[in-house]
Amino acid sequence: MRPLLLHLDHFGSFREPVTVDFTDTEYFALVGPTGAGKSTIIDAICFALYGTVPRWGREGAVAHALAPSVSAGKVAMVFESNGRRYGVVRAMVRDAKGAVRTKEARLDELDPAAPPAFDAVVKPLAEGENVTIEAQQVTGLEYRFFTQCVVLPQGRFAEFLHAAPRERQDLLVQLLDADVYERIRQRAAREEETAKQAASFARDQLAKLSGATEDAERELAERLAALRRLAETIGADLDLLRAREADIRRAEQERAAVAERQSVLAQLRMPAAVPTLASARRAAAESVGTLTAEVAALEADEHEAFEALAALGDRGAPRAALAALDHRDRLRAETARARAAAASAAASLEGLAGELATAEQVLAAAEDQRERLRDAHAAAHLVGRLAVGEPCPVCRHPISQLPRHEPPADMRTADRVLAGARERAQRARAAHAKAEASASMSATQAARLESELAALPAPGDRADLEARLAAIAKADELATQARSAVRAARGRLEDARAAAEQVERQAETAWRTLESARDRLLVSGTQDDPPPPLVREDLHRAWTELLGWRDRAAESARAALAARDEELAQAGERLAGDRRRLAERLAEHGVVAPRDGSPDQLGAAVAGTVARAESALDRLKEDRKRAADLESQVSMKEHEAKVAHELALRLRANAFERWLCAEALAVLVASASETLRELSDGQYELALSDKTGDIEVIDYGEAGMRRSARTLSGGETFQAALALALALSGAVARGLDSIFLDEGFGTLDPATLDTVATTLERLAAGQERMIGVVTHVPALAERVPVRFEVRRDAKGSHVRKAEVG
């Protein structure tokens, strides 16, 4: 472990943030007055890694990390170990009860290529309580051994010197990485088990190859040789089979041709219509001729009828004349009705005029009667308001006597009478106006109709017109009947022609059928007895001659088919015999061939059997070779298992660890003796007690007397402990990259102090190891190339780096 940067923030006596840069520093001294905070820097290194400090007493205590007036603080360090760079941070807080606890702890791996910094994190390694465990893995030392080999704090400098043998052995086991032998033993045990499993697996595989023997290889080689001889000699047999099969195929083709000819002969049939086609053709021709003449005669009659119809002219003119006569008669009747209506309206108008005059007179009387009654009511009302002596409202003379009047009739009665008279007069006026309008309209209509009637041309004779129309209708009927007769005759003629064409098509089809059948017979027949020649004169006769020839040819085909069947049977027997003999020969050699296989399939079966035998022989040879390899592998793995077993057995004994640590301790004590002899000016050496294993001192000032190291004085104890510490750092624990000495050098005399300083300088110059000392002795501090000056004031401790030129 080698520190590069150390950051303290409110840790111990450092009340302000401060960073100590150890980069490029090999040998340094922390100098300053007593109580300035020099040891606090060494404490911070321990605290950053393990979360506690040796001089705080109890391991794991953190109460002294913060001053009483501080509520929070932090320690962080960038360091290198075993070629890798790390960053560790621990933050502390004081809770409400005043107890100090660790708030945060983190250990990260940093980028070694970057400048030392806390933020160059490559990956996080641990947090919380796991930081201390991971720090032990990174440094390779537990806390208690770290404080005996790397950091030698005040008051505990001589712990290793006075430690019990068991404690020293535990430290040496860790420093020497002696537990690697236990890992080797465990690895040897695993290797033994792996080798045993591999040997067992190889034996199992070897058991599966028990058939891979020399005899089996020889038998398989002999069978392969026999199969190859069979493959070389079987060609003639296969050629014979191919010839037999060719003969059968040829006979089958010939039989198929005969069977095809027989089938063609059997299918030959005369069409059913052939015997009657000749008479049907004659009848159809006669029917067409008769109907053609009939159509011509009917067409002449049709022409004559239409000419007669055309001579009578169009029936439109007589129809128009008759329509005009009918129109004249209708006008006359309408005119008479109009005149009668006008006369009736005039008579009715005279009566209505009298009724209107009477109604007007009654209305005038009713109106006069109502006016008089109204005046009477007004007078009666006025009389009621007159007084004698008052002026008359009519004549303005004084009234001498009130007039007497009878009470007038009721005005409502007069009003009802007047309303009735007015209603009757209104009805009379309306009826008179309507009658007057009707009379005027009837007179106007009568005049109009008379004018139209006068404007019509002179009428023709109705009887003559009707006779002319009847003659035209009769001629039209005769022409229509003639046309229908022509159409019917033409239809019959078309049917007759279609029937004649159908007969012709049947005859042509029969001829084509005959020709086609004869052509097929020519193709399938023989030149010895060809079908009779075809003469296109008499269809029925041609068919009859061909069918007679067919009967003779069919008998010949049946005889030929029987001969071909006999030939095929004999060829099949010959092929079966040859195939059976070949199958027996193949079976003798173990060749599995398909039943009734072709010569090519049989040849392929032989070739396949040869290939499989070759492959089987190759596999057997490979199995024999693999079996030999497996036997060698079994032997080798059994030997490896035995060696691993012996190694694990040797390393299992505890005596090996004791022997190793004893040897290391002897080397350590010998190296420390040389340093101590130099420091004590040849007076002291160190040795191990043969009885107790404790470290003893050989005092040459007392004739080489051996005594316990505990009998040394304080200064002598410091010299012996320093010698052991330097031996641990230099001779035994070569993996330790730094050592920090925090012990009072003031107890040393000048000569011893000079020897200690020279030893430290030589140790710093000879190896790549950081050495730090805590001292307030100027003579020692002046000889250290780098000094960190620590001072303390009211604000706390401060540090400044000073390099000696």
Q: What is the pLDDT of residues 764-797, one digit of tens each?
A: 776 667 889 898 888 888 889 999 999 999 889 9
> d(Cα 762, Cα 766) in Å, to the nearest integer?
6
In this prediction, residue 733 has a pLDDT band, given cuts at 50, 70 and 90, of very low
pLDDT in tens, 213-252: 888 888 888 888 888 888 888 888 888 888 888 888 888 8
In this prediction, residue 30 has a pLDDT band, given cuts at 50, 70 and 90, of very high
> d(Cα 203, Cα 694) in Å, to the nearest integer?
56
Handedness of CA 637, 640, 646, 650 (dihedral sign): negative
Q: Which residues contact 118 (CB under 8 A, 6 or more apart)?
A: 5, 7, 76, 78, 87, 89, 110
User: pLDDT at position 44, please?
Assistant: 93
> Would the pLDDT of 732 be above 50?
no
Rounding to the nearest 10 degrees, give the CA dihedral for residues 639, 645, 646, 649: 180
pTM > 0.95: no
Helix (H, G, I), strand (E, B) or coil at 708: strand
> d(Cα 53, Cα 64) in Å, to the nearest integer?
9
Element (H, E) at 49: helix 38-50
User: pLDDT at position 331, please?
Assistant: 82
In this prediction, residue 90 has a pLDDT band, given cuts at 50, 70 and 90, of very high
For residue 453, which of 299, 321, 330 has the smallest C-alpha distance?
330
> Would the pLDDT of 347 be above 80?
yes
> d(Cα 186, Cα 492) in Å, to the nearest integer?
125
Residue 100's beta-bridge partner residues?
A: 94
> Would the pLDDT of 293 be above 50?
yes
Mean pLDDT of 324-343: 83
H helices present in 176-314, as ranges = 179-208, 214-233, 235-267, 277-311
**The pairing of beta strand 121-127 with beta strand 695-699:** unpaired
- What string of H, E and C letters represents the secondary structure of 608-657? HHHHHHHHHHHHHHHHHHHHHHHHHHHHHHHHHHHHHHHHHHHHHCHHHH
> d(Cα 549, Cα 667) in Å, to the nearest integer?
135
Percentage of residues in the chain having pLDDT higher than 70:
92
Mean pLDDT over the full length of the chain: 83
Angle at 347 between CA 344 and CA 353, to 5 degrees: 135
For residue 528 the two structure tokens come to 């010895």
Helix (H, G, I), strand (E, B) or coil at 163: coil
